[in-house]
């Protein structure tokens, strides 16, 4: 994969991958998310992401959206626990429009008081809708209990009370404290020459003043497994079983991705799907997930089932974990598992919007980007003994936490 890099004197980095095609993608990823909030700021990073679209020193909200939509493009944004991203998809001949509007809303937002009050109602409705979805809510609550009283454990949206407390000053203060140029990456995938994009990048981002911040040491805490059952009056029981796991920079994370894919990944041939759904008909939705963060990670199994099938479903799930802890994968099983995850990654490289965001995050976190060939070599180098070690580390029954909604 041919990549073009540049770093401005103010610290903002750029990565571009040129492709052939009519549609292009670009974005700005900022190393700021919900884990950077103080307790009284809960939900602020996400709320600011909404407010960036509500007006700048040059444009009102309507003109922000219209800038790309009028030429067949789209402007969007998202917030995670660790980053905020403003990104666009557009026709190749609209590159300058896209770069300029991303710069404008990121650095020239005026956070109008009237719009702040209106957006509070919008976000609180989003929170209430989320609270009505136990299959979504349980994932965030599970991370709250395994990352006890740590910012990484808090959900992204905040609470109605915290959102109601926001005002223009504390939103501006959060931006001033956390939107630092040395923690930003501009990323692009599209049919534009490297030098032409570099000129646009310099035109719109080079004049932004240098603002740096050395990231503090992330949260330190002692994990203790928890088992919790909550009465939620749900139609079916929802269950999550899991543990803390490897962080983004841990060499073992690749074996964990492979292990997670075998257990309950996207394929219908995952062990949990075959045992809980296909063989026993106990659950329709069943999956496992592994979410690595910069300094920690979370692994979990989720399924929804009838109340009278809950104990049997838990027993089967624990049995699958036990098999992975006690039995090494055979050579053919390992080859199939590696091929499956390599195919999943290859399909991701063909999704250019996903690729663009992935390039940006990789540069932000690692200050380098591994080529597909490097990643495939790492996958090929994983031995069954390493997978067995990871299974015994993460799937240890004495370290598993459980959250059940009834």
pLDDT in tens, 188-239: 999 999 999 999 999 999 999 999 976 665 656 789 999 999 999 888 999 9
Same domain, yes or no: 322 and 391: yes
* Structural domain total, the chain: 2
- Considering the domain boundaries, does residue 213 fall inside one? no
- Considering the domain boundaries, does residue 222 fall inside one? no
We report the CATH number of the domain holding residue 19 as: 3.30.830.10
Answer whether residue 356 shows pLDDT above 90. Answer: yes
Q: What's the rounded mean pLDDT across residues 320-343?
A: 95
Q: pLDDT band at 7, cuts 50/70/90?
A: very high
Answer whether residue 326 shows pLDDT above 70. Answer: yes
Q: What is the pLDDT of residues 169-183, one digit of tens each?
A: 999 999 999 999 999
Same domain, yes or no: 195 and 239: no
- Considering the domain boundaries, does residue 218 fall inside one? no
Same domain, yes or no: 189 and 241: no
Answer whether residue 291 shows pLDDT above 80. Answer: yes
Q: Which of 130-134, 190-194, 289-293 shows the lowest per-residue confidence on average (mean pLDDT)?
A: 130-134
Report whether 376 contacts 346 (CB < 8 A). Answer: no
Q: What's the rounded mean pLDDT across residues 273-295?
A: 95
- Considering the domain boundaries, does residue 219 fall inside one? no
Q: What's the rounded mean pLDDT across residues 8-26?
A: 97
Q: What's the rounded mean pLDDT across residues 136-152?
A: 94
Mean model confidence pLDDT for the chain: 95
Q: What is the pLDDT of residues 365-397, one digit of tens each?
A: 999 999 999 999 999 999 999 999 999 999 999
Same domain, yes or no: 101 and 9: yes
**DSSP summary character for residue 5:** E
Instruction: Give pLDDT, residue 269.
Output: 87
Same domain, yes or no: 237 and 176: no
Q: What's the rounded mean pLDDT across residues 356-370?
A: 96
Q: What angle do CA 145, 287, 47 make, to 5 degrees?
A: 55
Same domain, yes or no: 231 and 199: no
- Considering the domain boundaries, does residue 211 fall inside one? no
Answer whether residue 274 shows pLDDT above 80. Answer: yes
Q: pLDDT band at 1, cuts 50/70/90?
A: confident
Instruction: Give pLDDT, residue 121.
Output: 97
Same domain, yes or no: 154 and 255: no
**Rounded distance, CA 189 to CA 352, Å?**
7
The contacts of residue 211 (CB under 8 Å, 6+ apart) are 10, 179, 180, 181, 182
Same domain, yes or no: 181 and 313: no
- Considering the domain boundaries, does residue 82 fall inside one? yes
Q: What's the rounded mean pLDDT across residues 304-308?
A: 96
Can you give the residue range of the structural domain that contains 199? 4-205
- Considering the domain boundaries, does residue 189 fall inside one? yes
Answer whether residue 142 shows pLDDT above 80. Answer: yes
**Rounded distance, CA 173 to CA 326, Å?**
52
Total-model pTM: 0.94
Same domain, yes or no: 181 and 289: no
Same domain, yes or no: 154 and 272: no
Instruction: Give pLDDT, residue 216.
Output: 61
Of 241, 240, 242, give the one whose Cα is nearest residue 232. 240
- Considering the domain boundaries, does residue 33 fall inside one? yes
Q: What's the rounded mean pLDDT across residues 146-166?
A: 95
Using a pLDDT cut of 90, give the percent of the chain over it. Answer: 93
Same domain, yes or no: 39 and 133: yes
Burial class (CB in 10 A: 0-12, 13-18, 19+), 286: buried
Domain end (from 157, 173, 205): 205
Answer whether residue 355 shows pLDDT above 70. Answer: yes
**Rounded distance, CA 262 to CA 336, Å?**
10
Same domain, yes or no: 325 and 271: yes
Using a pLDDT cut of 70, give the percent of the chain over it. Answer: 98
Answer whether residue 280 shows pLDDT above 90. Answer: yes
Instruction: Give pLDDT, residue 219.
Output: 58
């Amino acid at each position: 994969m041919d990549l073009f890099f540049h770093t401005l004197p103010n610290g903002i980095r750029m990565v571009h991958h040129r492709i052939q095609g009519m549609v292009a993608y670009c974005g700005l990823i900022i190393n700021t998310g919900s884990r950077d909030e103080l307790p009284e700021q809960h939900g602020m990073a996400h709320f600011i992401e909404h407010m960036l679209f509500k007006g700048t020193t040059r444009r009102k909200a309507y003109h922000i959206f219209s800038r790309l939509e009028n030429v067949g493009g789209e402007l969007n944004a998202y917030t995670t626990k660790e980053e905020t991203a403003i990104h666009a998809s557009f026709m190749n001949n609209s590159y300058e429009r896209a770069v300029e509007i991303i710069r404008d809303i990121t650095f020239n937002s005026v956070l109008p008081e009237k719009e702040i009050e209106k957006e509070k109602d919008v976000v609180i409705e989003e929170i209430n809708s989320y609270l009505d979805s136990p299959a979504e809510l349980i994932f965030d609550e599970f991370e709250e209990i395994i990352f006890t009283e740590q910012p990484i454990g808090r959900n992204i949206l905040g609470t109605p009370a915290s959102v109601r407390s926001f005002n223009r000053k504390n939103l501006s203060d959060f931006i001033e404290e956390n939107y630092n140029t040395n923690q930003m990456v501009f990323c692009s995938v599209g049919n534009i020459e490297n030098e032409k994009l570099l000129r646009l990048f310099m035109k719109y981002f080079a004049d932004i003043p240098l603002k740096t911040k050395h990231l503090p040491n992330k949260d330190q805490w002692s994990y203790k497994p928890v088992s919790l059952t909550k009465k939620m009056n749900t139609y079916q029981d929802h269950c999550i079983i899991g543990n803390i796991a490897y962080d983004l920079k841990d060499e073992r994370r690749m074996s964990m991705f492979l292990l997670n894919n075998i257990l309950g990944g996207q394929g219908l041939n995952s062990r949990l799907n075959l045992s809980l759904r296909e063989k026993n008909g106990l659950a329709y939705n069943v999956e496992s997930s592994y979410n690595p963060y910069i300094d920690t990670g979370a692994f979990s199994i989720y399924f929804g089932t009838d109340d009278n099938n809950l104990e049997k479903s838990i027993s089967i799930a624990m049995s699958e974990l036990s098999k992975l802890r006690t039995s090494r994968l055979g050579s053919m099983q390992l080859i199939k598992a590696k091929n499956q995850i390599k195919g999943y990654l290859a399909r991701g490289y063909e999704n250019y919007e996903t690729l663009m965001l992935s390039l940006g995050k990789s540069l932000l976190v690692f200050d380098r980007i591994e080529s597909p060939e490097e990643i495939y070599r790492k996958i090929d180098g994983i031995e069954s003994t390493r997978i067995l070690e990871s299974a015994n580390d993460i799937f240890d029954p004495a370290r598993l936490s459980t959250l059940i909604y009834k």
